[in-house]
DNA sequence: GCACGATGTGATACTCAGTACCGTACACAT
DNA sequence: ATGTGTACGGTACTGAGTATCACATCGTGC
């Protein structure tokens, strides 16, 4: 009886019990008993009761890192980000009903929800780090990297949530559309802002007093 | 001895002890003892050991909701989002060293980090809900609302983190710049005509009261 | 064949967060 | 003065997570 089978059997037992009695209504003793292992072994394998719900998080992070590290040329980088996010989506799709069970749990137990969000933030952090590396030296590089990473993760989550709720038949097509929307946000760099006017006002005076200047400036631009 | 003073004294005692012995090295008994209250009272007031670190979260959420609900006209909505995010920043700035202590804690204790991120997600959710309401009916409205909410929160967090780390002297100016960057992403979307004007304002009081006039003046010029 | 260390396992005991409950002290009303 | 509600502290309990110990298993070397 290999260690991997035992691990999978324990995860299965945990999900079963969570469905039957709820997360808080299930003790680690219950899980260990149904899985046919000792309580000590459970904590040795998973570290905590929460971790049994997110068992493949680390390996998924490693996959993403590998995908991003493989994007060496400028042309392929945007694609690499989208593809790395797609890896996450594919992982969930492959899990099927397990992913939906986890979703139900994270919706109902605040601590689990926080844990899942924190996990997503790790993906985002990975994206941010790599994008920032690519943008190095550009103005507002750090902020733009964060914004892009957040947008990609948000787009991914949007599609994933739709699938988890059973609202879509073709999540991959949704994902493609979402990534188009995301990339469109960043398509034009800071230098291609024709037709856009940005005004930053910082003044202790009443805004009315500067309105004439605002008008004048806008008219002069047009 | 009022309830509010007791609450504040307990929070102060908790932060002191966390600094001295670390979060895990401090028990609720320790906090209660230093604050001069019973253990039961602690849990009655805060609900959990984590909650003593995020004591004003709910009231801040309410402020944001109020600010967003106040943006009734289309013209002031973008500004309302930025101003609501600014409320969060101002809250942290007003906390001063307490906010930095909390930051140190959340960096070092994974459970607290998850909790904080989940809190930020609640802000983001509020933004998303309101923006979605405004966009109702537009193509990809749900996704675009999520993206904009994520961008605003990300921009805010970027500035906040910089201040928490002591990397900036003028976080408000940073925030203005960040919001310009954020709003630029969404200016000139597929639904809007070519000429888009984004204004970021910082005035001492009642920005919301004068902004409609600014916007009206700008529209009148076009 | 047997001694040997390494590793995985289960049982026990412990700390501490969080909950439930109970008695009490102090307010404020009639 | 007496009821009533409320906030408080104390006690006991459940359950997560940690530390420790004893034992079983499994090569590996002799």
A86: left (phi over 0), alpha (psi -120 to 50) or beta: alpha
Cα angle: B57, vertex B62, B64; to 5 degrees: 95
User: A57-187 has which CATH code?
Assistant: 1.10.357
Q: Is A24 helix (H, G, I), strand (E, B) or coil?
A: coil
Contact yes or no for B197 and A218 at CB 8 A? yes
Question: Does B155 contact A147 at a Cβ distance shorter than 8 Å?
Answer: yes
Compute the average pLDDT of residues B162-179. Answer: 94
pLDDT at B34 over 60: yes
Mutation to test the A interface, candidates B203, B205, B211, most A Cβ within 10 Å: B203
Find chain A residues with C-beta within 8 A of B181's C-beta: 140, 143-144, 147
pLDDT, residue B79, reads 82
When the pLDDT of each residue in chain B is averaged and rounded to a whole number, the result is 85
| 3-class state of residue A198 by DSSP | strand
Q: Considering only residues B123 and A134, tell me which one the structure prediction assigns the higher pLDDT.
A: B123
Contact by Cβ (8 Å): B106, B112: yes
pLDDT for residue A48 is more than 80: yes
Helices A110-135 and A74-95, axial angle in degrees (round to 10) = 160
Q: Identify the burial level of A167 via C-beta atoms within 10 angstroms of its C-beta, where 0-12 means exposed, 13-18 middle and 19 or more buried.
A: exposed
Angle at the Cα of A93 (from A32 to A31), degrees rounded to 5?
5
Contacts with A186 from chain B: Cβ below 8 Å: 185
| pLDDT for res B118 | 95
Interval B39-64: pLDDT, tens: 999 999 999 999 999 988 988 999 99
Lowest mean pLDDT among A81-90, A134-143, A196-205, B4-13: A196-205
What pLDDT score does A2 carry?
72
Taking C1' of D15 and every protein CA, the nearest residue is: A27
Q: Provide mean pLDDT across the span A47-62.
A: 92
Smallest CA-to-CA distance from B16 within B43, B25, B115 is with: B25
Q: How confident is the model at residue A79, as a pLDDT? A: 82
Q: Report which of residues B20 and B71 the model is more confident about.
A: B20
Q: Which residues of B touch A178 (CB under 8 A)?
A: 143
Question: DSSP E strands: which ranges in chain A?
Answer: 196-202
CA distance B141 to B130: 11
**pLDDT level of residue A162 (50, 70, 90 thresholds):** very high
Residue of A nearest to B172 (CA): A202
The span from the CA of A148 to the CA of B208, in Å, is 29
Does the pLDDT of residue A105 top 70, yes or no? yes
Cα A10 to chain center, whole Å?
Answer: 27
pLDDT at A216: 44
Q: Which pLDDT does position B75 carry in this prediction?
A: 63
* DSSP H or E run through A2: none
Report long-range pairs for A176-181 (Cβ below 8 Å, ≥24 apart).
A177/B140, A178/B143, A179/A82, A179/A85, A179/A152, A179/A155, A181/A155, A181/B140, A181/B143, A181/B144, A181/B147
Cα of A135 vs its chain's centroid, Å: 21
Across the interface, which of A143, A198, A205 has its CB nearest the CB of B198? Answer: A198
**Sign of torsion, CA B47 B50 B54 B57?**
negative
Domain B57-221 has CATH 1.10.472.50: no
Q: Do A113 and B118 touch (CB under 8 A)?
A: yes
H and E: helices and strands count for chain A: 10, 1
Strand partners, B178: none
Which of B8, B110, B115 lies closest to B54 in space, CA to CA? B115
CATH number for domain A3-52, candidates 1.10.150.120, 3.90.79.10, 1.10.10.60, 3.40.50.300: 1.10.10.60
Helix axes of B97-108 and B110-135: crossing angle, nearest 10 degrees: 110
- Test mutation, B110, B114, B138, chain A, max A CBs within 10 A: B114
At A70 the three-state DSSP class reads coil
- Residues whose CB is below 7 A of strand C: A 3, 6, 36-41, 44-45; B 26-29, 39-40, 43, 47-50
Using the structure, give the distance in angstroms from the CA atom of A47 to the C1' atom of D20, rounded to a whole number: 17
Per-residue pLDDT, B136: 84
In which band, very low, low, confident or very high, does the pLDDT at B189 lie, cut at 50, 70 and 90? low
Where are chain B's structural domains?
Answer: 3-52, 57-221
Q: What sign does the CA torsion over B33, B39, B42, B48 have?
A: positive
Neighbours of B193 (CB within 10 A): 8
Residue B194 pLDDT level (bands cut at 50, 70, 90): very low
Q: How confident is the model at residue B20 (pLDDT cuts 50, 70, 90)?
A: very high
Distance CA B4, CA B140 (A): 46
H, E, C per residue of chain B:
CCHHHHHHHHHHHHHHHHHHHCCCCCCHHHHHHHHCCCHHHHHHHHCCCHHHCCCCHHHHHHHHHHHHHCCCCHHHHHHHHHHHHHHHHHHHHHHCHHHHHHHHHHHHCHHHHHHHHHHHHHHHHHHHHHHHHHHCCCCCHHHHHHHHHHHHHHHHHHHHHHHHCCCCCCHHHHHHHHHHHHHHHHCCCCCCCCCEEEEEEECCCCHHHHHHHHHHHHHHHC
């Amino acid at each position: 009886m290999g260690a991997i089978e035992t691990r999978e059997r324990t995860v299965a037992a945990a999900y079963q019990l969570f469905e039957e009695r709820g997360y808080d209504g299930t003790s680690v003793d219950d899980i260990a008993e149904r899985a046919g292992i000792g309580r000590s072994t459970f904590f040795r394998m998973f570290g905590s009761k929460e971790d049994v719900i997110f068992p493949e998080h680390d390996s998924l992070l490693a996959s993403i890192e590998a995908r991003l590290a493989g994007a060496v040329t400028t042309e392929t980088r945007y694609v690499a980000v989208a593809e790395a996010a797609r890896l996450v989506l594919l992982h969930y799709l492959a899990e099927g009903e397990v992913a939906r069970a986890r979703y139900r749990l994270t919706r109902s137990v605040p601590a689990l929800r926080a844990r899942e969000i924190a996990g997503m933030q790790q993906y985002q952090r990975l994206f941010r780090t790599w994008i920032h590396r690519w943008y190095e030296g550009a103005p507002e590089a750090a902020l733009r990297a964060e914004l892009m990473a957040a947008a990609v993760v948000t787009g991914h989550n949007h599609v994933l949530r739709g699938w988890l709720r059973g609202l879509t038949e073709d999540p991959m097509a949704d994902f493609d559309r979402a990534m188009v929307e995301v990339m469109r946000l960043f398509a034009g760099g800071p230098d291609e802002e024709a037709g856009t006017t940005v005004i930053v006002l910082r003044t202790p005076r009443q805004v009315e007093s500067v309105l004439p200047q605002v008008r004048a400036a806008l008219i002069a631009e047009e």
